[in-house]
Amino acid sequence: MEVLIFPNAQSLASKSADLVESQINAFPDSVIGLATGSTPLGLYQELIRRHLEHELSFKQVKTFNLDEYVGIPGDHPQSYRTFMDENLFDQIDIEKSNTKVPDGMAENPLDVGPAYEKLIEKAGGIDLQVLGVGTDGHIGFNEPTSSLGSITRVKTLTQQTIEDNSRFFKPDEFQPKLAITMGIKTILDARRILLLAHGENKAQAVCDMVEGPLSAFCPASALQLHQRTTVLIDEDAASKLRLKGYYKFVGEMQDDLVKKHKPSDWIAR
Ligand code: F6R
């Protein structure tokens, strides 16, 4: 796991956008896995800016979102489809038909997972997966004790996640307790992973993910098994890491290596 520590959320967003942009420049038809939530907003804003100012094009890009709530339609203000349309897709040149989000209103939600897996496979697999992490260590909606071998399926949200996300729902509004989410295996199958986290409230989850034991109790710790995961965090999210100084030292050594030699094989495919 490569751990990059940034002074603030803006520099983190800018670096993550550099990485996504290099992926798209190398493979304009890249398949990119996306997350919702507050964490990737800076990245999405930066990608939109680069699209408008530097003509970064998403014309051939295909995207798969990690998850969607069960029981609210795609046009509901709190659906993840609406989130993606408003915060990214409607502001770039991506073909809407190339953007997939699990269908939270399917007649049988249990059928959605296997069909979603097939769609990902048909697209050639995910080249680059963007992730956030929940305060309880979840990735996608793979809550603590999710199988490390899980694929896309229906999951029940924990009380912690329901509380964390209640800020987006009006007090008397229906708030879903179920979601359809890519599984941990689905995520680990991505060729490259970028996990973003900022803020002190993520410090414990980041510490458990990077330095804790590999455990289904912290689903994000499964990323320790992935060969090409880059964790991009700010100083607050890094505040509980025991080897913080070491990760910074590794970053300097890496920069040095890249200056002297050919850039690393960052691009996935
Ligand atoms: C959302 C998702 C979740 C979030 C996580 C962090 O698609 O997959 O795992 O990444 O809940 O949420 P924020 O970024 O709002 O703190």
Looking at ligand 1, which residue's alpha carbon is closest to its atom 4? 132
pLDDT at 266 over 70: no
How large is the average pLDDT for residues 44-70?
A: 97
How large is the average pLDDT for residues 94-105?
A: 97
End-to-end CA distance of the chain: 18
At 61-81, the pLDDT tens digits run 999 999 999 999 999 999 999
pLDDT recorded at residue 161: 87
At 208-265, the pLDDT tens digits run 999 999 999 999 999 999 999 999 999 999 999 999 999 999 988 888 887 787 665 6
* Domain residue limits, the chain: 2-261
Q: Which atom of ligand 1 is nearest to the CA of 34?
A: 7
Q: How far is the CA of 206 from the centre of ligand 1 (A)?
A: 13
pLDDT recorded at residue 179: 97
How is domain 2-261 classified at the CATH fold level? Answer: Rossmann fold (3.40.50)
How large is the average pLDDT for residues 106-130?
A: 97
Q: Which atom of ligand 1 is nearest to the CA of 199?
A: 16
Q: Mean pLDDT, the chain, as a whole number?
A: 95
3-state secondary structure of 64: strand
- What is the percent of the chain where pLDDT is above 90? 88
pLDDT recorded at residue 258: 78
Q: Distance between CA atoms of 222 and 224, rounded to whole angstroms?
A: 5
Q: Specify the higher pLDDT residue, 68 or 164.
A: 68
Residues within a 6 A CB radius of ligand 1: 35-39, 66-67, 132-134, 138-140
Query: Which letter, b or e, does each residue of 46-79 get, where b requires 16 or more Cβ atoms within 10 Å of its Cβ?
Result: bbbebbeeeebebeebbbbbbbbbbbbeeebebb
- Which amino acid, one-letter code, is at 160? Q
Active site residues: 67, 136, 138, 143
